[in-house]
Structure 1
Amino acid sequence: MSNNSRQPIEKKELFGVHFNIRDQQKFNQALQLLRESTGGLPMFSADNLITWNRNISFLREDYFYQILAGSESTDVEKSCIWRLYILLYFAEHCQSVAGDYVELGCHKGTTAKRVTEKIDFENKGKKYWLYDLFEWKEGDEHTHMPGHDNPKMYEDVVERFSDQPWVNIIPGPVPDSLLQGFPKTIAFAHIDMNHPAPEEAALKKVLPNLSPGGCIIFDDYGWWGYSAQKRILDPIAAGMNLKILELPTGQGLLIKNS
């Protein structure tokens, strides 16, 4: 083994947006003290996740580097890059699994578009099913997001995927919208609706159709503010002798082995 192979690889770091911070000044001071106390070890600080002394391997991939360096992604989207890395890893892993892809809660279609950049749906004969309310009204229980301020949100998402006929975009509340079309066999599902009721209905519908080897990523599963989703999703998975893995990114992962 050469001496060079024993040397650490080039240091990569990322500092981005955090959520639920009540005192930004104190948080910044604490982060600075943390950086000083770790002696300059590589750090990732974004999306309510702070780590140090990690390789942060995805920052070395040109695909993710281009996302972070480009101007088309917002600061929040860039800060959620670790979530995207995990999502795309398992989306690619499921390419050889029988069935279509599903995203429940696609919002502006940003994440779904990234998936279409990685998966050759046309040549693999798979479809991609996207579901969302595509609106928010005063009094609605689901989380208000900036995209909801666009009255043409649905139309813009349709236009975004207009050159990809294998993408089906279905508006309306889950589970009612699933009656408009739903795959009989699913390879991969991404559930991100920020509310326990539609996520409960979604999981009950997805799990029986999920192929062996198929995966589900839950975007909100590990976030304490969305604990109601964990409470309602765990028993559904357990009913099929499955268990959701909580990830440090706040996501949840379920793999259907048989």
Structure 2
Amino acid sequence: MNTNPALKEATVHAYQTLRSQTPWQHEGTGILHHRVLPFATLAPWLADPTFMALYEKIQSNTLVDIYRCHELWSLAQQARYVEGDVLEVGVWRGGTGAILASALKDSSDKTIFLADTFEGVVKAGMQDTRYKGGEHADTSVQLVESLMVQLALPNTRILKGIFPDDTQAAIPGKIAFLHCDVDVYSSSKDIVEWCLPRLSVGASLVFDDYGFFGCEGVTRFCNELRNRKDMRFIHNLNGHAIFVKLF
């Protein structure tokens, strides 16, 4: 029980402020948004000097905040005990890919596959709200390769093209961890449908775009996926949807 009077007063004030806000949505989606302000204060990244040093080096290469980056770091470390490789689809400039690869650098049997068109978002459609296609094209294979060399991460392999359409053949075996950061419904669905029969028991799927206004297509898809009996679904208020393969 929290006994700090000042913190308790601030918490109550913040809660009252949040309650006074009006939820919003993209018209017709039925997906409601509201400012989220969790009151927990534990910050494990601050006690992890290895992660903090890495984050300082990659933060200009990612649009993902420190909270989600640390969650990827932690989940990737747990993936060392799950059969298969790691796949990130939606790499942009390689920041989160470097986090995954660094977390598993000592797991010599795992390859971290980094798949991206490097030409922007694809497969935007009627299920999506903000994205129209071509966004986040301000990157290149060379930029990501340079980051991996700088951080001495030889356990990575970059796949250029639409995944799974163009590059699926490059991944021969099981998947232990999927980080899906592609912003739109159809692309997310195609990626997951390819991965599902290849997921090991205990594998994690992390969707970066579940918690954000403008990414309603990903929210729709995750809400469909959460009905599967073989998946455990977790909504982290930092913006992640996490699924764990049960059987």
**Match in the other structure for 1:91:** 76
Secondary structure of the residue aligned to 2:215 is: helix
Return the offset for 1:143: 6.3
Which of 234, 241, 246 in structure 2 is aligned with 1:245?
234
Name structure 2 gaps, 5 residues minimum: 15-34, 125-130
**Match in the other structure for 2:18:** none
**2:109 maps to 1:125:** yes
- Alpha carbons of structure 1 residues 182 and 227: separation in structure 2 relative to 1, 3 Å: same
Task: Provide the rounded CA distance (Å) in 1 between the counterparts of 2:13 and 2:228.
Answer: 46
Instruction: Tell me the TM-score normalised to structure 2 length.
Output: 0.72
Secondary structure of the residue aligned to 1:50 is: coil
**2:207 maps to 1:218:** yes
Task: Provide the rounded CA distance (Å) in 2 between the counterparts of 1:164 and 1:63.
Answer: 15
Secondary structure of the residue aligned to 1:225 is: coil
Contact 1:203–1:233, Cα closer than 8 Å, also in 2: no
Aligned letter for 2:135? H
Return the offset for 1:190: 0.4
**2:59 maps to 1:73:** yes
Return the offset for 1:67: 5.3
Contact 1:221–1:250, Cα closer than 8 Å, also in 2: yes
Aligned letter for 1:159? S
Task: Provide the rounded CA distance (Å) in 2 between the counterparts of 1:128 and 1:224.
Answer: 29
Return the offset for 1:54: 1.5
Secondary structure of the residue aligned to 2:237 is: coil
Which structure is higher in RCO with an 8 Å CA cutoff and minimum separation 6? 2
The root-mean-square deviation of aligned C-alpha atoms, in Å, is 3.4
Which of 166, 187, 193 in structure 2 is aligned with 1:177?
166
Task: Provide the rounded CA distance (Å) in 1 between the counterparts of 2:74 and 2:146.
Answer: 26
- Alpha carbons of structure 1 residues 71 and 50: separation in structure 2 relative to 1, 3 Å: farther
Contact 1:97–1:214, Cα closer than 8 Å, also in 2: yes
Contact 2:79–2:203, Cα closer than 8 Å, also in 1: yes
Secondary structure of the residue aligned to 2:67 is: helix
**2:175 maps to 1:186:** yes
**Match in the other structure for 1:166:** 155
Return the offset for 1:96: 1.2
Q: How many residues align?
A: 213
Aligned pairs (5 A) from 1:94-105: 94-105=79-90
**Match in the other structure for 1:112:** 97
Task: Provide the rounded CA distance (Å) in 2 between the counterparts of 1:103 and 1:158.
Answer: 15
Secondary structure of the residue aligned to 2:166 is: helix
Task: Provide the rounded CA distance (Å) in 1 between the counterparts of 2:246 and 2:213.
Answer: 28
Contact 2:62–2:95, Cα closer than 8 Å, also in 1: no
Task: Provide the rounded CA distance (Å) in 1 between the counterparts of 2:87 and 2:62.
Answer: 23
Task: Provide the rounded CA distance (Å) in 2 between the counterparts of 1:111 and 1:214.
Answer: 18
Q: Which moved more, 1:161-170 or 1:101-110?
A: 161-170
**Match in the other structure for 1:200:** 189
Return the offset for 1:159: 3.4
Contact 1:141–1:195, Cα closer than 8 Å, also in 2: no
Contact 1:143–1:194, Cα closer than 8 Å, also in 2: no
- Alpha carbons of structure 1 residues 71 and 158: separation in structure 2 relative to 1, 3 Å: closer
Task: Provide the rounded CA distance (Å) in 2 between the counterparts of 1:155 and 1:76.
Answer: 15
**Match in the other structure for 1:144:** 135
- Alpha carbons of structure 1 residues 94 and 227: separation in structure 2 relative to 1, 3 Å: same
Aligned pairs (5 A) from 1:21-36: none
- Alpha carbons of structure 1 residues 73 and 239: separation in structure 2 relative to 1, 3 Å: closer
